[in-house]
Amino acid sequence: MSYLILVRHGQSVWNLENRFTGWVDVDLNDNGRAQAKKSGELIKDKQINIDVYYSSFQLRAINTLKIIQEQLNDYKNIKSVWQLNERHYGSLTGLNKDEMKKELGEEKVHQFRRSWDLRPDPLDKNSAYHPINISTYKDIPADKIPDTESLKDTYERVIKYYIKYVENNFKNKNILISAHGNSLRSLCKYLFKLDNNKIAKLEIPTGNPLFIEFSEDNKILNCEYLDTERAKDLLVY
């Protein structure tokens, strides 16, 4: 028996401002840090040992994981990988979601956020928000850095990494992944075999650990959000 714990980072500065964040490397706000602390407390209550910690390259995911580790009193090295980054929102990056609904229409914005294979227009490479201009990503090969992404694009990079480096290498280990709404939606699509309609409806709450129990032959036995007051419908259980 083993466990996989998925945690969407705590609320960030741009989450609060309702902006498309994507690859912009913003940090947690005070509420996000409190959510991360509670996440750590809830995971600690499970009384299991975490063998491997993963996060994206992004500060809000890394700092969420560090706060969780403080609660667990466990400071193993964090494997930070860019493949777990949030979806790149292209030209929408930095824009306010409500303002975009007024400008483009609510249905169009919903399509950009939830459709499977629709990409926003590419982000101008001269933009300060483009990953090539953000020091966090200076060591990522330039041909791997996107200008925009659909959920399908995000899924392909997340799951390719997960299968090769996580699923195949750490069977019967307990793993904690701190990442983002769309990278975790991608993982849930893969793990729970969600179709494209169901994945469009799946919402991952910030700072609420999703606790997944696996059998010895790597089949899902059970899953639950640990903060039951803020749980979302998983669409599968």
Phi first, then psi: what are they for 163, rounded to 5°?
Answer: -65, -45
Element (H, E) at 154: helix 151-161
Element (H, E) at 8: strand 2-8
Residue 12: beta bridge partners? Answer: 28
- Separation CA 15–CA 35 (nearest Å): 13
pLDDT above 90 covers a percentage of the chain that reads 81
Q: Are strands 175-179 and 52-55 parallel, antiparallel or unpaired?
A: parallel
Is the model's pLDDT at 236 over the cut of 70? no
Confidence tier at 170 by pLDDT (50, 70, 90) = confident
Contact 61, 9 (CB under 8 A): yes
Amino acid sitting at position 104: L
Is the model's pLDDT at 237 over the cut of 50? no
- Kindly report, residue by residue over 81-102, the tens digit of the pLDDT: 999 999 999 999 999 999 988 9
**Helix, strand or coil for residue 107?**
helix
Q: Are strands 2-8 and 210-214 parallel, antiparallel or unpaired?
A: antiparallel
Architecture category of domain 2-230 in CATH? 3-Layer(aba) Sandwich (3.40)
Distance of CA 210 to the CA centre of its chain: 12
Residue listed under structure tokens 């299968």: 163
Contact 146, 130 (CB under 8 A): no
pTM of the model: 0.94
Q: What is the pLDDT of residue 231?
A: 75
User: Is pLDDT larger for residue 200 or for residue 150?
Assistant: 150
Which of the residues are catalytic?
9, 86
